[in-house]
C-alpha cells in the first residue's frame, strides 16, 4: 500500500463563481500557476514515486511543475476527474442557489443525483476504488501524488474517515491544498487535511546506512 497525497488543482478565473465541472479549456490563472509552483517547492523533499492527475487542464497544469521537479511523467487517470454535474455545469453559483434542485442536493447529498450527470455516491465509489487500487501497487513507504478536484477529494476523505456521505460538505478543500492518506491492508489513516504550506520530510537514509 502507499501514502497518497490528494492535491486540489490551483485557482482559475471561475473558482468560487461558476460550477465549471468538466468544461474543457479551463486553465489556471496567475494565482493558480503560483500555487502549482509553490506545491512543487513544498514537496521538494517528498519521496514521490508517481504522479497521477485528473484529465482536466487545471489539474494537469497544477501537476506539471512537480512532475518537472521530480523528473516524472504526469499519468492521466480518468477516475480522478471532476464530478459530472450534468445540467448544473456551467451555471454560476448565484444561479444555482436560487434553484430547488441545488437546495435539494445540499439537503440530501447521500441521495443526490445531478440530472444528466452523476450521483455523489457513485463519485465516492469510483475515487475510493481507484485510490485503493493505486495504493496496492506500491510499497507502504512509497508516496504518490494524485491531482484532483474539491468534491472528489472531500468524498474520498469522508469515506476514509467513516463520515456519512451526507456530511462530506463539512470538509474544506482549498485550491492548491494537500490532504494526506496512509492506506494499508487493514486500515486507512487521514493524517492531514487541506494543508497549504510546505511539508517537511525526513532525510532518506543513504544506501550505505541501510
Q: Any idea which residues carry the catalytic annotation?
A: 9, 149
Helix-helix angle 150-160:120-136, to 10 degrees: 70
Select from 82, 120, 81, 127 the least CA-distant residue to 104: 120
Q: Determine contact, residues 56/126, Cβ cutoff 8 Å.
A: no
Residue with cell 463520515: 163
Residue 84: which of 126, 120, 127, 128 has the closest Cα?
120
Alpha-helix residue ranges (DSSP H) falling in 43-185: 57-70, 93-97, 100-107, 120-136, 150-160
What the block records as the C-alpha cell of 186 is 487493514
Kindly state the helix (H) or strand (E) to which residue 95 belongs, with its residue range. Answer: helix 93-97
The secondary structure of residue 172, as a DSSP letter, is: -
Distance separating alpha carbons of residues 32 and 23, to the nearest angstrom: 17
Amino acid at each position: 500500500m502507499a501514502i497518497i497525497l490528494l492535491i486540489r488543482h490551483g485557482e482559475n478565473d471561475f473558482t468560487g463563481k461558476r460550477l465549471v465541472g468538466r468544461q474543457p479549456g479551463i486553465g489556471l490563472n496567475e494565482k493558480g500557476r503560483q500555487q502549482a509552483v509553490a506545491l512543487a517547492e513544498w514537496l521538494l523533499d517528498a519521496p514521490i514515486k508517481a504522479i497521477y492527475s485528473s484529465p482536466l487542464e487545471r489539474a494537469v497544469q497544477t501537476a506539471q511543475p512537480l512532475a518537472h521537479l521530480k523528473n516524472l511523467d504526469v499519468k492521466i487517470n480518468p477516475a480522478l476527474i471532476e464530478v459530472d454535474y450534468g445540467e448544473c455545469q456551467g451555471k454560476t453559483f448565484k444561479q444555482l442557489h436560487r434553484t430547488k434542485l441545488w437546495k435539494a442536493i445540499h439537503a440530501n447529498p447521500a441521495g443526490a443525483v445531478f440530472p444528466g450527470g452523476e450521483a455523489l455516491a457513485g463519485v465516492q465509489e469510483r475515487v475510493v476504488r481507484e485510490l485503493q487500487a493505486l495504493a496496492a501497487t506500491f510499497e507502504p513507504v512509497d508516496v504518490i501524488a494524485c491531482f484532483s478536484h474539491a468534491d472528489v477529494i472531500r468524498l474520498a476523505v469522508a469515506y476514509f474517515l467513516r463520515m456519512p456521505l451526507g456530511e462530506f460538505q463539512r470538509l474544506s478543500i482549498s485550491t492548491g491544498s494537500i490532504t494526506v492518506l496512509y492506506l494499508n491492508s487493514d486500515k486507512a489513516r487521514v493524517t492531514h487535511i487541506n494543508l497549504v504550506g510546505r511539508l517537511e520530510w525526513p532525510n532518506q537514509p543513504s544506501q550505505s546506512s541501510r
